[in-house]
């Protein structure tokens, strides 16, 4: 498919190699793993302490009009 | 001082999963990461007036989190993240077989990167920021981010013994195909 292009792009310029011109794009093993690693972290359940914290911050705000 | 708007609060809540992911990437420790996110939320709340509505809230929050991380590190006198023994153990990564790279190995490799390189490659390769935004978050030049990302990528390839990504010879291509199918 795009293999020829990739091989051609390889030689000189070096920097932007993969299909989309993105060295961390979907054609890069490192790029895919990075996203997998990060997506797993992002999809982790958020502990309730953070919602509690925001509620607490809201309450301790100097009494003023809300919104 | 104006009250924090509901919209701001909702956006803060929405940003928490990303903040936690970035915090874990920086600290490599789930508990420290959550403390860091907590500090970030409190700081963001306190200085909410300095946020320009319509600009990138996520980038603003990441900047706060990052500053907090480095100021804590300075206070602690830059405690070493990991013992040498563990590092060495993690160095022994098997070469990727059939393009299947274990996520655990990847995590271990990521941990070995210097912070500046790790944060750069995370911001660009995972959090979805542009080079310009990442430079702003890290308070450095775009070129600096580019070179950190590039060094991080090279280092990860070395640690994980991924070769050929730059060359795309026939082997590399079949590896890519296998890798994609597994994703």
Closest chain B C-alpha to A14 CA, distance in angstroms: 8
d(CA B49, CA B46): 8
**pLDDT class for B172, splitting at 50, 70, 90?**
very low
Burial class (CB in 10 A: 0-12, 13-18, 19+), A15: exposed
Neighbours of B137 (CB within 10 A): 26
Is the pTM higher than 0.80? The answer reads no
ipTM: 0.76
Q: Write the pLDDT tens digit of every residue in A1-59.
A: 445 544 444 433 444 443 445 778 777 889 999 999 999 999 999 999 999 999 999 98
Look at residue B168 and tell me whether its pLDDT is greater than 50.
no
Name chain B contacts of A31, Cβ cutoff 8 Å.
Answer: 125
Q: Write the pLDDT tens digit of every residue in B49-85.
A: 999 988 999 999 999 999 999 999 888 876 545 444 4
Q: What is the pLDDT of residue B102?
A: 86
Q: What is the pLDDT of residue B162?
A: 80
Q: Write the pLDDT tens digit of every residue in B99-129.
A: 567 889 999 999 999 999 999 999 999 999 9
When CB atoms are compared, the residue of A32, A35, A67 closest to B3 is A67
Chain A within 8 Å of B154 (Cβ-Cβ)?
no
Contact A42 B20 (CB under 8 A): yes
Tell me how many helices (H) and strands (E) chain B has.
9, 0
Q: In the CATH hierarchy, which fold is given to the domain comprising B8-79?
A: Rna Polymerase Sigma Factor; Chain: A (1.10.1740)
Q: In the CATH hierarchy, which fold is given to the domain comprising B82-183?
A: Arc Repressor Mutant, subunit A (1.10.10)
Q: Three-state DSSP class for B71?
A: helix
d(CA B28, CA B16): 17
Look at residue B1 and tell me whether its pLDDT is greater than 80.
no
Q: What is the pLDDT of residue B16?
A: 97
Chain B within 8 Å of A56 (Cβ-Cβ)?
no
Residue range(s) of every CATH 1.10.1740.10 domain in chain B: 8-79
**pLDDT class for B171, splitting at 50, 70, 90?**
very low
Instruction: Pick the more confident residue, B40 or A8.
Output: B40
Give phi and psi for B100, each to the nearest 5: -90, 115
The mean predicted confidence, pLDDT, of chain B is 82
Residue range(s) of every CATH 1.10.10.10 domain in chain B: 82-183
Ranges A18-22, B5-9, B88-92, B144-148, most confident: B144-148
Q: Three-state DSSP class for B97?
A: strand
- CB contact at 8 A, A19 and A27: yes
């Amino acid at each position: 498919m795009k293999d020829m292009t990739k091989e051609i792009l390889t030689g000189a310029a070096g920097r932007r190699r993969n299909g989309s011109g993105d060295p961390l794009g979907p054609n890069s093993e490192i790029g895919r793993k990075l996203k997998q690693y990060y997506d797993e972290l992002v999809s982790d359940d958020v502990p309730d302490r953070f919602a509690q914290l925001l509620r607490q911050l809201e309450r301790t705000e100097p009494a003023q009009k809300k919104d | 001082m104006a009250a924090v708007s509901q919209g701001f609060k909702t956006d803060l809540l929405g940003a928490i999963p990303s903040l936690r992911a970035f915090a874990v990437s920086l600290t490599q420790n789930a508990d420290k990461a959550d403390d860091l996110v907590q500090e970030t939320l409190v700081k963001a709340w306190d200085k909410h007036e300095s946020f320009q509505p319509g600009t990138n809230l996520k980038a603003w929050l990441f900047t706060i989190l990052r500053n907090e991380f480095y100021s804590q590190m300075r206070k602690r006198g830059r405690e070493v993240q990991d013992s040498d023994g563990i590092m060495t153990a993690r160095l022994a990564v098997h070469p990727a077989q059939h393009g299947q790279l274990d996520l655990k190995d990847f995590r271990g490799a990521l941990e070995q990167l210097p912070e500046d390189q790790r944060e750069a490659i995370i911001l660009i390769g995972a959090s979805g920021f542009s080079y310009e935004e990442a430079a702003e978050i890290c308070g450095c030049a775009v070129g600096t981010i580019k070179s950190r990302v590039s060094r991080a990528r090279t280092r990860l390839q070395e640690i994980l013994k991924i070769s050929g990504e730059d060359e795309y010879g026939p082997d590399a291509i079949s590896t890519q195909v296998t890798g994609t199918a597994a994703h």
